[in-house]
Structure 1
Amino acid sequence: MKKNIIVPLTDTPLTLLSGITFARVPYWFPFYDYKDLKMDLVLPFRRGGGEKRPLLVWICGGAWLTMERGAHLPWLMNFARSGYVIASVEYRLSNCSHFPSQLEDVKKGIRFLKAHAGEFGIDPEKVIIGGESAGAHLACMAGVTGDRKEFDKGEYLEQSGRVQAVIDYYGPASFTWNPKDTRVKADGEIPDFLRGPSPVNMLLGYDPADDPEKADTAAPLSYISPSAPPFFIAHGTEDVVVSIDNSEALCSVLEMNNVPVEFCAVQGAGHADPRFYQTEMADRIMGFLDGICNRREVTH
């Protein structure tokens, strides 16, 4: 039986643009073969009317050894439904290239998105970067290095790599001040891909103890200044992969530099704990970000 119904438009339908190429980088044997770096975007189904939305760039973790850019899209939909454009960005892994290639790739993604802000309905003055674990390390590095030209490689160099806020989910803040290897604890909680050579050594291409001064150039703690963007930090008190000491130290240095920071120590949570990916955590982060996105004076 035919029914005539009226369906009011009460929210903004969303769409997924998957596999957008934003850069080409040396991959197999360096400078012999090349790989396309890709990102996934979640944005309004139909864009128009000049609307500009804040952008959340998300960086997946995996010890710099593995990553899946679509892994966190279901949780990131909380932000998309609240008015953010979402970009989940790929980067080269440590078996392909050592640091700073990973940071250079993340910054390429930021510049690409700013260069195409009009096409994607992005406000280039309201860009937030976030990540978890190794992805949080890269997000923090992108946040605190701003327009430092030594990390700007590739295309769209006329665009700024600056962001207005950082979301740090249980990321390492330094590779030299906290030498204890927490991987020896709680064997059953450690993923198989961490049961081999040190992921940090593989990222850097050397043991940080052999060249601590050089290793500090890969650490967020080394770049914090009063011009750093605001931070939202969350870390589990029972994390045996990345010690919560990292986030506590990062929070302290940010506070000493008068940088706005909110630190949530999640009681009883381990590394990549499901508690980080509840709607409640997304709501906490959005409460923090909404104030930042509406205050131009905190934009660096």
Structure 2
Amino acid sequence: MKKTINVENKRKAISLVDDIIYSKTSNDNGDSVNLYMSMLIQNVNVERKIIVSEKLDTQKQPVILCIPGGGFTHCARNRILPELQFLAEEGYVIATIDYRLSSSAKFPAQIEDVYTAIKYLKDHSNQYNIDEENIGILGRSAGGCLSLMAGMNMTLDNLGCKYGEEILNIKAACSMYGITDLPLWMEYEIKNQYFSNAKFSMETLVGKYVGGTESTILEYASKASPIQYINIDMANILILHGDNDPIVPLQQSEKFYNKMKKMGMDEKIDFYTVSNAGHGSKEFFQNEIKSIMIDYFKKQLKVGGKNNE
């Protein structure tokens, strides 16, 4: 049976651009390593050997850098992409990254990788049709910790990183069940014994992440905690956290929110407790949560100088 169908071109195509090397760096032992980025981009011509079609919209698109979790011990950038397509459908360029893991590089290598990724997006803004003045960041779990750190819009000079005097100017930072206070999380891991058998600080995920010794680890963990860097120039924050999270307890986000409120900055944060939700459980991927995230990014990230609403 032969049929003809008339199609109205309402929806833009979305394609994956994969295996982009955004950084050539090294681990703590000096071994070289390539770090990769993947992107979801609208209006891409996938049948031709070009990245972006000639018929792009004239307006550039805001970009959201998405950071996967994994306790700082593992990271799979493409695993989170399917559940980010809804943001690409709304007109955002979506980028996900690998970053150096705690087994090969201690903090602050990971936040340095995030800064490098954002610098890559800015430097290649014309190639990918990115509005470099409207950058958001989103992270889950350990990635939520890194997204909040980047969202502080601070220099890294006190951490001894490259880009020491550079400020990212992130407009929006979203943490999904992210870690905000590493010393508190380290204490929880030892006492709870839910996801590890660690008995000493250096055996915990935090200990593996920040390094040091039993006498210095609290100082190092505190230095890697977003809650220590809350400031007036930080990005607007969205936090989503389940009240039944056995890995990163709700206390992490509550403490961060309460400190912002105490500092008179509660207008810069939207904090949603997700009833009955665990750590990365299915509640976070329902339409109600997607609507909250869409509304948040539309409010914070602008297109052509106007709110994307």
> TM-score range with shorter-chain normalisation?
0.7 to 0.9
**Is residue 282 of structure 1 aligned with residue 286 of structure 2?**
no
**Is residue 248 of structure 1 aligned with residue 247 of structure 2?**
no
Structure 1 segment 1-300 matched on structure 2, within 5 A: 2-27=2-27, 30-31=29-30, 33-46=31-44, 47=52, 48-149=56-157, 160-177=167-184, 180-182=187-189, 185=192, 187=194, 190=195, 194-195=196-197, 197-206=203-212, 210-255=216-261, 256-258=263-265, 259-294=267-302
Measure, in 1, the Cα distance between the counterparts of 2:229 and 2:11: 41
Residue identity opposite 2:178 in structure 1? G
Residues 141-186 of structure 1, C-alpha deviations (whole Å, 9 max, x = no match): 111143444569569x997522101101111111235663246548
Measure, in 2, the Cα distance between the counterparts of 1:269 and 1:235: 8
Shift of 1:7: 2.0
Residue identity opposite 1:108 in structure 2? T
Residues 108-135 of structure 1, C-alpha deviations (whole Å, 9 max, x = no match): 0011001111111111111111101111
Quote the sequence identity (%): 27
- Bigger Cα displacement from structure 2, 251-260 vs 71-80: 251-260
Shift of 1:238: 1.3
> Cα 1:19–1:49, aligned 2, differ >3 Å: closer, same or farther?
same
Shift of 1:17: 0.3
> Is contact 2:210–2:217 with CA below 8 Å preserved after alignment?
no
Q: TM-score, normalised by structure 1?
A: 0.87
Measure, in 2, the Cα distance between the counterparts of 1:223 and 1:113: 24
> Cα 1:218–1:58, aligned 2, differ >3 Å: closer, same or farther?
same
Residue identity opposite 1:99 in structure 2? F
Residues 65-111 of structure 1, C-alpha deviations (whole Å, 9 max, x = no match): 01110111111001000111100111000000000001100110011
SS in 1 for 2:272: strand
Residue identity opposite 2:34 in structure 1? D
Residue identity opposite 2:37 in structure 1? M
Measure, in 2, the Cα distance between the counterparts of 1:12 and 1:175: 42
Measure, in 1, the Cα distance between the counterparts of 2:21 and 2:159: 20
Shift of 1:24: 0.8
Name the residue aligned to 2:47. none
> Is contact 2:170–2:235 with CA below 8 Å preserved after alignment?
yes
> Cα 1:262–1:82, aligned 2, differ >3 Å: closer, same or farther?
same
Q: Gaps spanning 5+ residues in structure 2: where?
A: 45-51
Measure, in 2, the Cα distance between the counterparts of 1:179 and 1:147: 26
Q: Gaps spanning 5+ residues in structure 1: where?
A: none
> Cα 1:233–1:170, aligned 2, differ >3 Å: closer, same or farther?
same
Measure, in 1, the Cα distance between the counterparts of 2:216 and 2:258: 27
Residue identity opposite 1:30 in structure 2? N
Residue identity opposite 1:180 in structure 2? E
> Cα 1:243–1:158, aligned 2, differ >3 Å: closer, same or farther?
closer
Measure, in 2, the Cα distance between the counterparts of 1:76 and 1:58: 9
Name the residue aligned to 2:49. none
Residues 29-64 of structure 1, C-alpha deviations (whole Å, 9 max, x = no match): 622x31110010000133424321111111000000
> Cα 1:290–1:297, aligned 2, differ >3 Å: closer, same or farther?
closer
Aligned residues: 290
SS in 1 for 2:41: strand
Shift of 1:280: 2.0
Measure, in 1, the Cα distance between the counterparts of 2:147 and 2:70: 14
Shift of 1:195: 4.7
